[in-house]
A = this chain, B = another copy of it.
Amino acid sequence: MKMSTVVDNNRSRRDRTPSAEMRLRVLSAAGKAFSRASYDAIGVREIAALAGTDPAIVMRLFGSKERLFTDLVENAFGNEEVFQGPLKTMGKQLAQYLMQPFAKAQTTEKDDFQLLLRSAGSLVAAPILSAALHRTLIEPLSRAIGKADGATRAALITAQVLGFSTLRFALGSPVIEAADPAAVERVLASAIQLCVDG
């Protein structure tokens, strides 16, 4: 099937991986890149270089930069395990997640929330992100909460996570970094929990 035969011929010595594996490599590279800068600031060349391939390959695989971004985001926010836990402790769990060590959050391969906040201001990326966010996160969370105003609560919880992530990871707030982590976590947890059942 894909027998990686590394033949050292006269000029082309790259590891020519077949399209299926390359697709994953490009998606991974794009996820990493878009988690660190906005849709408008990341170029196709940059993604291709990060995946160790050619810009044209990216175009062949996804058709356009916008469709690559769409494919990347399509199933992004569904599998964040912090939203799957019991509702009673969701505030605490999210607060812990948001106050994880700064360095760890910055070196992650791909962080869905950082991806979201980095491109939320882009006119091209915003509608794509909004659709995916509502379909894979807000609506399921809304059903989990169940109440009549479950959708509103789900949206407000998302807004809290989004706002805090932006302030901490995009704006690099010195106030957050200087503060007592336990104190931040406590206020944050109760503010979020209030949106779940307040």
A residues near B, CB below 8 A?
Answer: 36-38, 40-41, 117-123, 126-127, 129-130, 133-134, 138, 142, 149, 151-156, 158-164, 166-168, 170-176, 178-180, 183-184, 187-188, 190-191, 194-195, 198
Q: Chain B's nearest CB lies how many Å from the CB of A111?
A: 13
Complexed CA–CA distance, A195 and B38 (Å): 30
Residues on B with C-beta less than 8 A from A191 are: 156, 160, 191, 194-195, 198
- Name which of A133, A155, A160, A161 has the most chain B CB atoms within 10 A of its CB: A155
Q: Which residues of B contact A118 (CB under 8 A)?
A: 121
Question: Which single residue of chain B is at the shortest CB-CB distance from A160?
Answer: B163
**Which residue from B166, B172, B190 sits with its C-beta under 8 Å from A163?**
B166
Question: Are A134 and B166 interface neighbours, CB within 8 A?
Answer: no
Chain B CB count within 10 A is highest, among A41, A152, A160, A163, for A163
- A117 & B121 in contact (Cβ 8 Å cutoff): yes
Are A129 and B175 interface neighbours, CB within 8 A?
A: no
Docked-complex contact A120 and B162, CB < 8 angstroms: no
Q: Is B37 a contact partner of A38 (Cβ separation < 8 A)?
A: no
CA distance A36 to B121 in the complex (A): 8
Residues of B within 8 A of A122 (CB): 37-38, 40-41, 121
Determine if B155 and A175 form an interchain contact, defined as CB atoms under 8 angstroms apart.
yes
A164 to chain B, nearest CB (A): 4
Of chain B, the residue at the smallest CB distance from A40 is B40
- Per the bound structure, the CA–CA distance linking A187 and B37 in Å amounts to 32
What 4 A-B pairs come out closest when comparing CB atoms?
Answer: A163-B163, A40-B40, A118-B121, A159-B163
Interchain CB contact (< 8 A) of A162 among B151, B154, B163, B183: B163
Instruction: Specify which of B117, B120, B167, B183 is in contact with A158 (CB 8 Å cutoff).
Output: B167
Partner of A121, one of B120, B127, B160, B180: B120
Whether A184 contacts B172 in the complex (CB less than 8 A), given A121-B120, A121-B121, comes out as no
